[in-house]
Amino acid sequence: MTITTHIKTFAALGVGVIGSGWVARALAHGLDVVAWDPAAGAEQQLRANVANAWPALERQGLAAGASMERLRFVATIAECVQHADFIQESAPERQDLKLSLHAQISAAARPDAIIASSTSGLLPTDFYASATHPERCVVGHPFNPVYLLPLVEVVGGEKTSAEAIAAAIKIYSALGMRPLHVRKEIPGFIADRLLEAVWREALHLVNDGVATTGEIDDAIRYGAGIRWSFMGTFLTYTLAGGDAGMRHFMAQFGPALELPWTKLVAPKLTDALIDSVVEGTTAQLGTHSIKQLERYRDDAIQSVMAAVEAAKARHGI
């Protein structure tokens, strides 16, 4: 089967935070977007989310013909996908819901259109089990805000063809993304497994009274987070080994892995812990609205990315 890789019409099903991000990215790249979501007020919220993201996308640079006016909201799944060249589902993380949705989506879609799910950890073999032409079905797991952050994890199921993986990678690349092919189906894929480990430890630190939510965020954003933004974990630790590199680092710091520094099992989400987290993050928000902080975040992300690219160019990296 030939799979379409040149897309003009992007279908988005489920338009919460992630789905809205996909819509904004697709519109910014000059595509026509057809969206569907059964929730009350979904269209109004989607258009508000896209409008809030648009200033950042304008700073980044819009493709020829890019316009928020190229978004059309429809009433049914079939109407959303029947003429789409590429389909991105971003429904809630419930396997039964996704199983039912993809039976309907794949039956109504063109057989040459890639169908992707934004799931952050469910396995494609499971929720594409009732799909028509499952060989063209993949996971395309993005990161918030989808319209700015380039990483997208591409995962195939047992019936996904190599052609579909290659086509999805080509399409996401054309949308300005950095596709990462996850070669094995594993719950949580790669990035979220790493993030979950940090999140669990952060909750323990709050629960044990070691630090507030603001202090924990400061520990990341003024330390490791800055290094992570341009070098990741393994290369950072390679440099920490000095001229001898990673082998010396592993010999010097490896024994610390045996020490009980971390707690990988998540703490029980008691009311007291939830209250502590909510109170801490409310204090961090201060007088700012979520939409205000989204615009600040977008500006900061673009500033960091621009600074890293400029430094790479200066050093030939």
Domains and CATH numbers, the chain: 9-182 (3.40.50.720), 191-286 (1.10.1040.10)
What would the pLDDT profile of 168-194 be if each residue is shown by its tens digit? 999 999 999 999 999 999 999 999 999
What would the pLDDT profile of 121-156 be if each residue is shown by its tens digit? 999 999 999 999 999 999 999 999 999 999 999 999
Upper half-sphere CA count for residue 312 (Cβ side, 13 Å): 10
Structure token digits, residue 269 = 């989400």
Helices (H), 122-161: 124-127
pLDDT at 249: 86
Q: Which residues contact 198 (CB under 8 A, 6 or more apart)?
A: 220
Percentage of residues in the chain having pLDDT higher than 70: 100
Does residue 67 register a pLDDT over 90?
Answer: yes
Burial of 176 (0-12, 13-18, 19+ CB in 10 A): middle
Helices (H), the chain: 17-28, 42-60, 77-81, 95-108, 124-127, 162-174, 191-207, 213-219, 225-231, 234-240, 245-253, 271-285, 290-315
Closest CA to 135 of 161, 155, 154: 161
Does residue 114 register a pLDDT over 70?
Answer: yes
Does residue 60 register a pLDDT over 70?
Answer: yes
Closest CA to 177 of 294, 60, 55, 270: 60
Does residue 1 register a pLDDT over 70?
Answer: no
Q: How confident is the model at residue 262 (pLDDT cuts 50, 70, 90)?
A: confident
**CA angle (83, 89, 90) in 5-degree steps:** 145
pLDDT at 294: 92
pLDDT at 257: 82
pLDDT at 261: 86
The more confident residue out of 2 and 300 is 300
The more confident residue out of 249 and 18 is 18
Q: How confident is the model at residue 256 (pLDDT cuts 50, 70, 90)?
A: confident
How large is the average pLDDT for residues 25-54? 98
